[in-house]
Amino acid sequence: MSDPQIHRNQKPSAPPPKISSNGGGGSNYPNPRERGIPDPATLRDQWRFAIRQYSRWYSQAWGTAILAGVSFFALGWIIKGSNPLPSLQSDPASSSPSADKDEALQKPR
């Protein structure tokens, strides 16, 4: 097997498309401007397509955010070994064994 050799000084086979500077959308430009205002049916279809695309992206972004939140919560639960949110614990004083020792030392006898 032989690798194809790359010649750095070799010119490209086709020149790049030329863009006219007058803004009129030359014939060589890949996506020229429209010459007139599109009919209402075309605009309506384009608007509906844009709304569908935005709605899809919006819902995907929310789904990704929720999935990431649940994943990080689960990861915190796995790493800590219990509920990672202290606000959801029933008795915060009994959550750590060192808190019981501190209370026993501070009580007057």
The whole-number average pLDDT for the span 70-92 is 82
- 9-35 residue pLDDT tens: 556 566 666 655 555 545 667 878 878
- 28-58 residue pLDDT tens: 678 788 788 889 999 999 999 999 999 999 9
- pLDDT at position 38 is 86
Closest CA to 30 of 42, 43, 16: 16
Question: What pTM, to 2 d.p., does this model score?
Answer: 0.44
Domain boundaries, the chain: 39-80
Closest CA to 46 of 38, 35, 56: 38
- pLDDT at position 6 is 54
With a pLDDT cut of 90, the percent of the chain lying above it is 35
